Structure 1
């Protein structure tokens, strides 16, 4: 795969990378506190088996504990000597040092997961009930909001790239399908970008595994963007799709496609929904390779559709987020041509656009 760098967006700038590092440090501090509250002694050290036993971890969550140890090693909180894990000097995080960046939704969700993590891995709480219950559900809406700067860059990058392509490719208003609309932040970013450019949008179908959630987003957006013909419906990446053969000029999704149980099969089904010459555009959180762990895994690994993925060159387990090379291989296997995988600018890979027709 030829790596193509996105150098013009300015979204993943020096401040963004610094703040991402700060939140990774904050996550490491939360994890270290969880493990110590669970009885692990960082000074004395422990083996992986002793960590599982000491934390009273269920077998289904042993990889989550292992991931936590490797993440703490990556962040400098633990060292590994033979089969023993030992505490290193605790690092300090000082986020927000003169930076006008909104990261509180990340911190709130990290704090919430940390408060329940031991109960989940010990089987005293169900992860779905915790994450989507009365306390957890509002945190997700704030997390996936365009006012959350740590997440909104993925929406904005997709919106700018898709609006560029609409302007270049279409003489008339294009038909667009969005996957995994959720609370509507990605579709809001796209419609706002198109309005800013006076780019007309024809039919725009917002879909989600929850038809109610997609319809709620449609109602909220319709008032602000009356010129766009918005529809809403249910679409499950892992099930049969509606009869949309060659129906759309563009299909786009932000941090959705990795949730498919069989990514290649889902991408292949989506390809059949594109008109001749149509384009699929995905915006995804992305890792450099399988040796690099992302702090988001602490949160998302508790979801059932974030199964462990292959480990690559490392013994560290990882969950849900793929590399650019992985996505290129998925797109090729699904029959796409003119494939582009564009990784963010800056010193570490945190996101990417996957484009194919």
Structure 2
């Protein structure tokens, strides 16, 4: 499915949910292999402390190890009896690769494999995950992952882009995008605006990395030569109020959950909007905190994806529930907002629209 078709098709359809489930099970298989290579097998039973010892896990990463073990339980690879973990006594594979469609999920598989190969060295403290995953040689890995050619990731971009483009009206409108990164969200919105024949006065790209958005600005100027772009470094935890710079629309895809205080961040952003302005926020979510998401295996190793609950059996990182986002919106004090959940059997995303 190409990006043009995604702009008008149903996004969270059966294919999407099937593909998400396949990648979830693929991760479980990778984890089992990684543990087996560390002499951790479940045939005769093993305790969590024995697993910690075999992995020479540092205190810092014990919650990541707990997450991995409980993820295997969720995916029905192992079970637990009185604190001892055993291999399931029957073969259970959720999805066969032959069932997959032609959708591009290789970026997810590549990142999972990369982390799996190095996971024991990370949790033992031998390797720094930031240096490992964001070194000069790994740029292409993340460009592909955060791309609109990556099916599982792009859906959230198009969901938010379609929403905001449909709300843009009038002339001389200014857009601010948060966490623009490699630009897939930017391209999704700009393509949606073009397809809906909407014109804007300016598009401000922001990211915690000024270098990244300056590079993105140059690339987008070549592709969208009728749009005026600005590029600024912006840390969402340090948003300053500047009355001279305000925006009509603010657009954020999978960014706000990284804020140390989402309530304060959203409140600060509201102050940067013109009267009558609109903010659209798209976030990956989980239906409840007993549900572990395959993306956590990747991002829990990075800053900004802190543990978000105190559950021993279900350690969660980063991704909130729709209920939690509703509570956050209430706390901001804003009155005109709505939250939509993706269609389908599993809650995997929330789309929030705030009007002032």
CA contact (8 A) 1:246 1:272 kept: no
2:165 is the counterpart of 1:163: yes
User: Counterpart in 2 of 1:353?
Assistant: 351
CA contact (8 A) 2:217 2:230 kept: yes
CA distance in 1, matches of 2:172, 2:92: 52
CA distance in 1, matches of 2:245, 2:322: 27
- Partner of 1:275, secondary structure, is strand
What does 1:83-162 align with in structure 2 at a 5 Å threshold?
83-88=83-88, 89-92=90-93, 93-95=95-97, 97=99, 99-162=101-164
CA distance in 2, matches of 1:227, 1:310: 46
User: Counterpart in 2 of 1:310?
Assistant: 309
CA contact (8 A) 1:159 1:190 kept: yes
Post-superposition shift, 1:241?
2.8
What does 1:38-53 align with in structure 2 at a 5 Å threshold?
38-53=38-53
User: Counterpart in 2 of 1:5?
Assistant: none
Post-superposition shift, 1:62?
0.3
CA distance in 1, matches of 2:180, 2:61: 29
CA RMSD in angstroms comes to 1.6
- Partner of 1:62, secondary structure, is helix
Aligned partner (choices 317, 320, 323) of residue 318 of structure 2: 320
Taking structure 1 as reference, are residues 282 and 96 closer, same or farther at Cα in structure 2, changes over 3 Å only?
A: farther
CA distance in 2, matches of 1:339, 1:346: 23
Taking structure 1 as reference, are residues 98 and 84 closer, same or farther at Cα in structure 2, changes over 3 Å only?
A: closer
CA contact (8 A) 1:146 1:152 kept: yes
CA contact (8 A) 2:166 2:196 kept: no
CA distance in 2, matches of 1:224, 1:150: 24
Taking structure 1 as reference, are residues 315 and 245 closer, same or farther at Cα in structure 2, changes over 3 Å only?
A: farther
Post-superposition shift, 1:90?
4.5
CA contact (8 A) 1:250 1:274 kept: yes
Taking structure 1 as reference, are residues 338 and 45 closer, same or farther at Cα in structure 2, changes over 3 Å only?
A: same
Give the 4+ runs in structure 1 shifted more than 4 A: none
User: Counterpart in 1 of 2:230?
Assistant: 231
Matched residue pairs, number?
346
Taking structure 1 as reference, are residues 311 and 346 closer, same or farther at Cα in structure 2, changes over 3 Å only?
A: farther
Q: Which runs of 5+ in 2 are unaligned?
A: 1-7
CA contact (8 A) 2:239 2:265 kept: no
Post-superposition shift, 1:173?
3.8
- Report the TM-score when normalising by structure 2: 0.93
- Report the TM-score when normalising by structure 1: 0.93
Post-superposition shift, 1:339?
1.9
Taking structure 1 as reference, are residues 241 and 16 closer, same or farther at Cα in structure 2, changes over 3 Å only?
A: same
Post-superposition shift, 1:136?
2.7
